[in-house]
Chain A
Amino acid sequence: MNIFLREIKATRKSLLIWIVVMGLLILIAASKFSAFAGDPEMLKILDSIPPAMLEVMNANAFNLTTIIGFYGLMFLYFGLMGAIAAAMWGSDSISKEERDKTVEFSLVLPVSRSRVVTAKLLAALVNCLVFVLVTWGMAIVSVQNYQPDQDFYAFLRLEMLAMFLIELIFLAIGLLLSCGLKNHKIVSSMAVGIILVTYFFSIIVKMNKDFAFLKNFSPFYYYDAGEMYRNGHLNGMYVGFSVAIVMVCVIAAYWMYNKRDLYTP
């Protein structure tokens, strides 16, 4: 419990920074949206576009003059920010002890290594949860002027659930990196590499059909906002896939951290 509280305190500032960045994004988006919300002219123009065109613009299935449409467009960025924050919390939690040369101290405490990992994992999990909840709250506040209906709340709930799942995947990957790799310097560069590559995949998947197979490697693409809106639920296969990734990474992380030698410069 002490380790858990200590972790929560140590990561408070980083959580705050991410919340501020998210707040700025929602603020910008909301002021953009206010410019054309419910504008019938805009709607007429949008209606005249053939569906194939919308596909290219990644605006399929959305009427962008409604808040649902607009928040559908924003989902990718929610996911991206959640993923980076979670990957940082996961990868920093274990490796920071070795970087700050406090690892001997924490490991001579009368707790097993698994207990240490559990406490740190839980603290990171709480951060992820708080991040999603605050984002959710800010999103709701930002649309109050537009009389959100039941559909919007249901859609936003799905979006936030999907964001949380993306966070979990990257948290688990980050944890695995920091538990498994001995050199803490490599851990953070690998985390950056993984985020950039998976995000990049999610962009080029849309470019060309030849790249469609990359979809499976990019968690950002597991949950498509348009699909969520149409079906009213998350893609079951990818939920299973996500859970599997998280399980495998977390189990491997515990196993490796219990066996690994500590970093000595």
Chain B
Amino acid sequence: MNRMIFKHELQTRIRSILTWGLSITALVFVLFTYFSVFAKEAELMQALLAKFPKELLIAFGMEHINYSTPLGYLAFFFLFIQLCLAIQACNFGVGLVSIEETELTADFLLTKPVSRMEILSSKVGAALASLVLTDAIVWVSVFFALTIYGEGKPYDPRTLVLLLASLLFMQFFFFGVGLMISLLVKRVRSVTPYSLALAFGAYVLNAFSGVFGDVKLEYITPFKHFEPGYIVDHAAYNTPLLVFNVTITLLSLAASYWLYLHRDISAVS
């Protein structure tokens, strides 16, 4: 780990951390101000739902979620927080080393007396730290929103912690996969199209996840690995999917190291 690189990398990410962290904070607060209104409607709905056959609720992926509880309500729009953070993580992953080549600074960096291993480790370390910082902002804001607008309704703190911690796993997944993809292609011209395709692609594949039974193909998307409804309902992660998720993250990071150490970096000509 090289302190100079780490510091520089962290500095360039401050704006992104604040932008994403604060926009999500705004989102959480705006939505939670409507909690009381929504909870009342939801209680009526819940009474209505109780009359329906269980198969129907399962078919629509609605057997888990109870909007009248603070955590149920959070789970309801949690997917959107996940989506935002996934885009950020993809941005960091895809841009981590490719940016040096697009901005023609790769030669400059690689002529420094530091090994590639050290460069990549410092960069990865700084990016992961930035992801954790962003998540920390989100954690704090969700906690405050729950306390202020939760109407004092009880919730299970353990479930909340699990739900919020899942954001980290999710971000690391997208970061690792994004980094690997950026090293697999010959040249990344622009980061955004890659990260949007990756994040929204995964999001859309998850679109019908609750509806009408399982399709194996769905398990490739991390949105499915950390379904908020499942976590709230079981107060636990879906262990096989969690293991799968972490394995993919680690594999893609290992592959990235290998690829970067062997990469033919295009020089300024």
Contacts and interface: CB of A to CB of B under 8 A. Distances in A.
A103 interface: no
Nearest to B52: A49
B198 to A, nearest CB: 9
B218 A35 contact: no
- Main secondary structure on chain A at its contact with chain B? helix
B193 A32 contact: no
Contact of A81 (B37, B80, B204): B204
Given A45-B53, A80-B204, A192-B87, A203 B80 contact: yes
B45 A32 contact: no
Interface in B175-206: 189-193, 196-197, 200-201, 204-205
B207 interface: yes
Given A21-B201, A192-B196, A100 B189 contact: yes
Contact of B84 (A24, A29, A196): A196
A217 interface: no
- Main secondary structure on chain B at its contact with chain A? helix
Interface residues of A, number: 46
B59 A42 contact: yes
Interface string A87-103: 01000100010011000
Contacts of B27: 200
A59 B189 CA distance: 41
Contact of A28 (B56, B62, B84, B208): B208
Interface in A47-84: 48-50, 53, 56-57, 59, 73, 77, 80-81, 84
Interface string A174-216: 0000000000000011011001100010011001101000000
Interface in B62-82: 62, 77, 80
Contacts of B118: none
Interface stretch (B144-152, B209-217, B242-250, B251-259): B209-217
A225 to B, nearest CB: 14
Given A24-B217, A96-B190, 6 more contacts: A24-B205, A45-B56, A57-B60, A88-B192, A204-B31, A208-B38
Interface of B: 27, 31, 34, 37-38, 45, 48, 52-53, 55-56, 59-60, 62, 77, 80, 83-84, 87, 102, 189-193, 196-197, 200-201, 204-205, 207-208, 211-213, 215, 217-218
22 contacts: A17-B197, A18-B197, A28-B217, A28-B218, A32-B211, A32-B212, A36-B59, A53-B48, A53-B52, A73-B208, A81-B204, A84-B196, A92-B190, A99-B102, A100-B189, A188-B190, A191-B192, A192-B192, A196-B87, A203-B77, A203-B80, A208-B37
